[in-house]
């Protein structure tokens, strides 16, 4: 029986990087490692999924490979630093953010956009209110 596309596992981010480096960018491992200012062995480990890059290296990879940071972060299951900062800014937020994210887990991109816009409006209304 054929598998549905919904059940397909996404391609590992390291394989995506290696394919793009070779097929699209036409760069060898050593050349790309030099461009990223890392050892070739380090890049090999990243492409084989044995290591994840630091925050600074993730940003350099994004620029060098022309792959969005969000795609890389999702591939390495690594949230932007602001997520942790906001989620832990105070007791209330530390309690509410996980509950919020659990309920928002299956939102579509359009629903996320609406939610973000609503949060912006709520944030502006709070700033305009006198305390």
Q: Which domains does the chain have, with CATH numbers?
A: 11-75 (1.10.260.40), 81-128 (no CATH)
CB atoms within 10 A of CB 55: 10
Contacts of 58 (CB under 8 A, 6+ apart): 69, 72, 73, 76, 78
Instruction: Note the pLDDT of residue 103.
Output: 92
pLDDT digits (tens, 9 = 90+) for 88-110: 999 999 999 999 999 999 999 99
Contact 129, 123 (CB under 8 A): no
Instruction: Note the pLDDT of residue 4.
Output: 47
Mean of all residue pLDDT scores within the chain? 89
pLDDT at residue 1 above 50? no
pLDDT at residue 3 above 80? no
pLDDT at residue 130 above 60? no
* Nearest 10 degrees: Cα torsion 83, 84, 86, 88: 150
pLDDT digits (tens, 9 = 90+) for 6-43: 556 778 999 999 999 999 999 999 999 999 999 999 99
Instruction: Note the pLDDT of residue 11.
Output: 84
Number of H helices, E strands in the chain: 8, 0
Instruction: Note the pLDDT of residue 80.
Output: 86
């Amino acid at each position: 029986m054929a598998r549905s596309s919904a059940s397909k596992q996404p391609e590992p981010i390291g394989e995506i990087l290696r394919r793009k480096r070779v097929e699209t960018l036409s760069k060898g491992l050593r050349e790309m490692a030099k461009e990223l200012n890392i050892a070739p062995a380090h890049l090999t480990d990243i492409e084989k999924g044995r290591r994840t890059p630091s925050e600074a290296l993730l940003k350099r990879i994004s620029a060098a490979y022309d792959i969005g940071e969000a795609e890389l972060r999702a591939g390495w299951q690594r949230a932007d630093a602001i997520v942790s900062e906001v989620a832990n800014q105070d007791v209330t937020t530390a309690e509410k953010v996980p509950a919020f994210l659990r309920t928002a887990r299956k939102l579509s991109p359009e629903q996320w956009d609406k939610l973000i816009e609503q949060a912006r409006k709520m944030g502006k209304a709070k700033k305009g209110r006198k305390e």
